[in-house]
Amino acid sequence: TAGTYPVWRETVGDIAERKHFWNVWAYGTTNGVGYHEYLQMCEDLDAEPVYVINSGVTNQSRRPRYEDITAMGKLVQDALDAIAYANEPADSVMGALRAAHGHPEPFGLKYVEIGSENYGLEYTKRFELFKKAIQEAYPDITVISSSDVRGKSRNEWSDTHFYSSESFLISNHNRFVAGRYTRRMPPAFIGEFSLSGGAAPGSLRAAIGEACFLAGAENGQEIVKRLAYAPVLGNTKYKMDRYPAIFFDGEQIALSPSYHLLQMFGSNRGDEVLKTEVRTYQKPQVIFGRAGIEMFDNSYEFKEVKIDNLPVKEGTVMTGGWTVGQGTLIPVANRWNYILLGDPSAYDYTFSADIRRTKGSGQIQFRVRDNGLPGEQNDYIG
């Protein structure tokens, strides 16, 4: 939120004087581990840090707020100072501050990301300000966007997150191969990924599903530039929505199958795919259910919305808000809008519409609510 985003200056120096707050993910942080400590930890682990900068757009899964575009200079300068703290020599202003905290030598930060899971036109406007300033001051820094940014704002890497089911990870082993990933999109930085949902997370079965996805990402190395597992650490005394690679409490740690998987991939680089053949029966998939549209914001207009040439008159709003007229659909602004249309038992129909983009650069997902699949899988993306 606007009042609880991390400010790097408030997370360095005397731990007793650091600002603490309740964050957007419903837990408190003391900032006892702050910007300096994370840089130090990455150095100790021989890992490349990625500093994620406040983009001036709050979490967009809630009611988002946008920093005044004319007041973005403060946030941009704060980002430049953070990079200077990590990279400038000890005889500079920011370098001297780092040296006073016990690290005279620069950390060598190479990657920064603007925002986390931010997207849309307002994000793009603010991203351009950061990108221009950082590239002018630090041309060797790779600037990562938190969503697909195209046109004149196209950047070096784009962050994408994958928290999904076992079936998704296995079936998307070829997601990053030529023909499925358009070359108009920037290379991918998979900033967060793990198996999530159902009974499998944290199990050997989960690790196998993640391995299939990882093998595909490794095979698409021209597209996938870096990859990070999440969450890495998890306190056993805190309820978590996702299983970490490493569990810990005050006395001991436990390593999950996913940890051993990541260790194996980190220590071994495959250069040959072994031929395998599996003979089994696969039940034919019969997709049936309601037609659906999902999108963010109200950047498209929908007219002549028809199923089997009959105008749509009603629908079921799953998220966000929609106004349904005689063959027209009007989504609300600044929300994830998802609507289902038609007969839940239908399996053979034609869904048509006249669609016009009115603003922005967001995408539309056309869906079939597949009632023939269990759990998360019954939301088949067509």
**Contacts made by residues 5-13, CB under 8 angstroms, sequence distance 24+:** 5/54, 5/58, 6/31, 6/54, 7/54, 7/78, 8/34, 8/35, 8/78, 8/81, 8/82, 8/85, 9/78, 9/81, 10/34, 11/35, 11/36, 12/36, 12/85, 12/97, 12/101, 13/101
pLDDT at 37: 98
pLDDT in tens, the chain (382 residues): 556 778 999 999 999 999 888 877 777 888 999 999 999 999 999 999 999 999 999 888 777 888 999 999 999 999 999 999 999 999 999 999 999 999 999 999 999 999 998 988 899 999 999 999 999 999 999 999 998 887 666 768 999 999 888 888 888 888 887 777 766 778 899 999 999 876 677 899 999 999 999 999 988 888 899 999 999 999 998 877 788 999 999 899 999 999 999 999 989 887 777 788 888 876 666 667 888 898 888 889 999 999 999 999 999 998 899 999 999 999 998 788 989 999 888 888 999 999 998 876 667 888 776 555 554 455 545 4
Residues 209-243 have pLDDT tens digits of: 999 999 999 888 888 999 999 999 999 988 777 88
- pTM to 2 decimal places: 0.77
Question: What Cα–Cα distance (Å) separates residue 278 from each residue in 274, 275, 282?
Answer: 13, 10, 11
CA gap 75, 2 in Å, rounded: 12
CA gap 217, 191 in Å, rounded: 13
Residues 68-122 have pLDDT tens digits of: 999 999 999 999 999 999 999 999 999 999 999 999 999 999 999 999 989 888 9
- 367, two tokens: 């869906």
DSSP states of 350-377: -EEEEEEE-SS---EEEEEE-TTS-GGG
- 31, two tokens: 């900032």
* Element (DSSP H or E) covering residue 292: strand 291-296
How does DSSP classify residue 298?
T
Domains by residue range for the chain, with CATH: 8-267 (3.20.20.80), 291-381 (no CATH)
Question: Is the Cβ–Cβ distance between 264 and 255 less than 8 Å?
Answer: no
Neighbour count for residue 144 (Cβ, 10 Å)? 28
